[in-house]
Structure 1
Amino acid sequence: MSTPGSSSPDASTPDQPTDTPTGQSSDPSAAATSRDDEIFDAEIVSPGTPIPPTPGDPHLPGAQYTDAGVPTFDFVRDKIENRIATAIGSEELAHESAEGRQVDEMIRKRDEAAKKKLDEIRKSMGQG
């Protein structure tokens, strides 16, 4: 309960701070006016006007795509060649690293052990 002369916690006084940052008005029409003053540079295009493709944009028809949106043979070939070159380069780098040499050694040892085991099996079957 509130005592006479005291204000309730819900009552707002003009001395209390507002939620708006300093220097800005809490009036929404003032904010709209300031946005209306901004200048935008735009071109109005009628709905029937086709938009030309952006060069190099893979999502729009361009030099790499036909008008139907199908990739050209040259584009697909170049993409495949790039992937092959990347794979070969990655493999060469992997073999040059310490981990790559370690893996190569493990594979060599496993192949030798498999060959010895196969020779033992062949001898036990009398095919040796």
Structure 2
Amino acid sequence: MSAEEFSRYDSMKLFLHQIYEFQKGVRSLVLCTMCRTCASLLSERLERLGIAYRIQSVTDSKVNLYFGNRMCLETVATFIHKPLNELSAEEDFMLGAMLGYDIAGQCERYCKRKSPGVSSEQAAVN
């Protein structure tokens, strides 16, 4: 097995685990960045399983594949019409929270983005 094949196999195992977590209620929303070919294959699987998804173009060869709860996807659809690095601090916070990222970490990231140059501790005190 080549290194590239192993990487794809590993990525597929991760994807299947994320589907499992969604089905068990551990996650409401999942985001995976991958090549367009992989996204096409994986979206077919999501369709077979009846899991809602959205695809966002990143580059000519890469996409972000979001899947999970239909209402979460509808919410994400309101702001993923632009690259993720162009999200507002509020959109970035909301996406991170919806993906299940550490809330305290998201709060710190939000404060840094809202007040560049001010530490999160200073922002919390003010």
Structure with the bigger percentage of helix: 2
TM-score, normalised via structure 2 length: 0.25
Q: Which has the higher contact order (CA 8 A, sep 6+)?
A: 2
Give 1 or 2 for the bigger CA radius of gyration.
1
Higher strand share: 2
When normalised by structure 1's length, the TM-score is 0.25
